[in-house]
Structure 1
């Protein structure tokens, strides 16, 4: 096994947190912590409305990007969290000015709350890392941006491939022919989202079974079971890791939006032709973590994708007794059990995503959070959501380094 080393880095030119690292590079990707509209010189939210706040978030991302010898056009995926979904047009005006070439893929969602009072927006990012991490050799890998007429188009790319992953923009239930939301309820909308994903994948010679992680944003968390029925038609055998996130609102006021990460065995130039043998996707579930209808973890190439963990006790599949601190401990214990079941440890995590029913609970979560790590903390994104499955107070998912890779 080649011991590829995590590269955790911070810059004084962007806001720092004692609970996360600004960027964690592993293999051919840099995983960024979500950036709030904080002026790093004052430590305060910038004055102004949504445009000024969006500019500050992107300026912070740019500062981190440049501190590691990259440029904004190395971004492959951005996720924008808004307090008001109607602000997206104003954000787009600012957003486009930060990129010189084709825009990266993007997911946009309105959440119930952001971690700092007064923040209207938060943005996290996934950045290409052609130089790789030790002991990989530097490669000037080429980002491959693609679109198809068979799926809805927007200002951002439908798919950006880099190294061994395809990063798709989240898909809304839009009929690409009409450009309108499809008629019907959440099942019809979920099916259209998945049809759009399938169309994008087929246009780049991939299939639905190449998906390694699915994130489902729902306007009503009670729709989760109905959406799962639809998902089962698209994944009849293999089921990717999954996280369900409650959205206060979605673009075009849709009921559902679906985001996926996709394997890319053929790689991007100048990787060697043998990469086209398609690396194996390894789906696993741990006996000592709560049982689910989907995979606990899916490994592909140099990353493991952990499904969203609820504060369920594995033996009973019931929510643990206690408040948010006990629930956060249980979520992290479940992640730890999954990570250890695949011969990894918590310090192999490169990115953590936390959803909270009450964003003010982050202070209580932080009291126990660092005790799960002994080395540099992973990058992190925290949002407040209006609901979590099973009425839980917290849900946590993770991306874990996979230095052994997966076999060809």
Structure 2
């Protein structure tokens, strides 16, 4: 019998970029994407933050990203999505100046938010997602030189420094959408309700411009200026999802993460980011390998559920897990204890979700940590290391001003899916 060729997780590190300041890898590739850990402005030679202000720090972040990308035989034009975390939203204009020097022509999709704090008290942290055309089937390139498909439509707000959507292989990665009226280029008037509606309208317009249904969204990230606005956001959100008759019949909702930020561009109250399935794939994948891939959503009673999100949504070779809070699945309430107990409960919930779909923690390729207090990271890592002893997943860590139910920590993950989703294998 001929052994079936399957994707494998490929974690890599280079001495040309800063060594991880925790139990994680610089980059973890799986199938057609490389997931990079968020990069801080650390000098790889000294292991310390560089001297200087926001421009110097932003440049060092990008240099570190570039060093990692080049160490895996890729180039900066292979970046499909960038997330910029700044301590002060006003610093984004200085980050933009540096950004242009690394992306003078091609523009990835992009998200910019200000957060309460970053590791090592940095002013900026930059994270990227990189295409991986060769795939990760050992000694068997999967589809040759896959191409990126970049699209912009005048029916949604445009930005001189980012593309609205960049497709690669079986995913569309959208720039985070602000509540901007595409006709005026200004924020819509009104409360968070109107702003949420406009963000979702903009996402829908982008998807319609590339002939992708709204219900092909697999993951939503909602960035809120005030977490107390979540009920108002949910009221509007529920009018957009599910969108189609089929999705309504299945009660389908994407996986979701809600994050309070310190500030958003243009002083917006809300910003929404979407990750979207792309069943057609990108050329030159053969038609027989591209069409008919299905979205598989799953929920288990072993973990607290949310009526507006699926616990996990798989598409092709990735599973996207909704952010997990430290809730006891039996009571649905916050567990008793401090940061260690809460971190453990979040990871237990993630593990329960993965086991419900016949996966394991070893399949995680990326972890996103949201902490109420960044100084808790050492305590979190004590627990974290027991769930990820090999230190393989890539990682992002930020401090947020507030979490739902006054939690101290929230965790979401991206998981490999070697078996793919039918009929893709």
TM-score interval (norm. to shorter): over 0.9
Q: Which residue of 1 aligns with 2:81?
A: 77
Q: Among 383, 394, 403, which residue is 2:409 paired with?
A: 394
Mapping of residues 214-225 of structure 1, within 5 Å: 214-225=220-231
Residue 276 of structure 1 deviates from its aligned partner by 4.6
Residue 314 of structure 1 deviates from its aligned partner by 0.3
Q: Among 83, 87, 92, which residue is 1:88 paired with?
A: 92
CA distance in 2 between counterparts of 1:142 and 1:271 reads: 10
User: C-alpha deviations, 1:176-221, integer Å up to 9, x for none?
Assistant: 0000100110010000000000000000001110000000000000
Q: Which residue of 2 aligns with 1:141?
A: 146
User: C-alpha deviations, 1:236-255, integer Å up to 9, x for none?
Assistant: 33110000000100000000
RMSD: 1.1
Q: Which sections of structure 1, spanning at least 5 residues, go unmatched?
A: none
CA distance in 1 between counterparts of 2:84 and 2:403 reads: 20
Q: Does 1:104 align with 2:108?
A: yes
Q: Which residue of 1 aligns with 2:245?
A: none
Mapping of residues 235-274 of structure 1, within 5 Å: 235-236=241-242, 237=248, 238-274=252-288
Q: Among 6, 9, 13, which residue is 2:9 paired with?
A: 6
SS at match of 1:116: helix
Residue 373 of structure 1 deviates from its aligned partner by 2.2
CA distance in 2 between counterparts of 1:149 and 1:327 reads: 45
CA distance in 1 between counterparts of 2:163 and 2:37 reads: 22
User: C-alpha deviations, 1:241-282, integer Å up to 9, x for none?
Assistant: 000000100000000000010000011111112345231000
CA distance in 1 between counterparts of 2:353 and 2:164 reads: 31
Q: Does 1:175 align with 2:181?
A: yes
Instruction: Specify whether residues 195 and 275 from structure 1 end up closer, same or farther in structure 2 by C-alpha distance, changes over 3 A only.
Output: farther
TM-score relative to the length of structure 2: 0.94
Q: Which residue of 2 aligns with 1:56?
A: 60
Instruction: Specify whether residues 19 and 376 from structure 1 end up closer, same or farther in structure 2 by C-alpha distance, changes over 3 A only.
Output: closer
Q: Which residue of 2 aligns with 1:367?
A: 382
Q: Which residue of 2 aligns with 1:345?
A: 360
Q: Is the 8 A contact 1:217 1:258 kept in 2?
A: yes
User: C-alpha deviations, 1:163-187, integer Å up to 9, x for none?
Assistant: 0000000000000000010011001
Q: Is the 8 A contact 1:96 1:103 kept in 2?
A: no
CA distance in 1 between counterparts of 2:74 and 2:158 reads: 27
CA distance in 2 between counterparts of 1:31 and 1:380 reads: 9
CA distance in 2 between counterparts of 1:115 and 1:82 reads: 11
CA distance in 2 between counterparts of 1:327 and 1:2 reads: 39
CA distance in 2 between counterparts of 1:192 and 1:75 reads: 27
Residue 225 of structure 1 deviates from its aligned partner by 1.4
Residue 96 of structure 1 deviates from its aligned partner by 1.2
Residue 2 of structure 1 deviates from its aligned partner by 4.8
Aligned residues: 407
SS at match of 1:108: strand
User: C-alpha deviations, 1:82-130, integer Å up to 9, x for none?
Assistant: 000011111111001112432100000000000112x100011100000
Q: Among 161, 175, 179, which residue is 2:167 paired with?
A: 161
CA distance in 2 between counterparts of 1:257 and 1:250 reads: 7
Mapping of residues 185-224 of structure 1, within 5 Å: 185-224=191-230
Q: Does 1:116 align with 2:131?
A: no
SS at match of 1:222: helix
SS at match of 1:277: coil
Q: Which residue of 1 aligns with 2:18?
A: 15
SS at match of 1:224: helix
Q: Which residue of 1 aligns with 2:33?
A: 29
Q: Is the 8 A contact 2:313 2:321 kept in 1?
A: yes
Moved more, 132-141 or 165-174: 132-141
CA distance in 1 between counterparts of 2:290 and 2:235 reads: 33
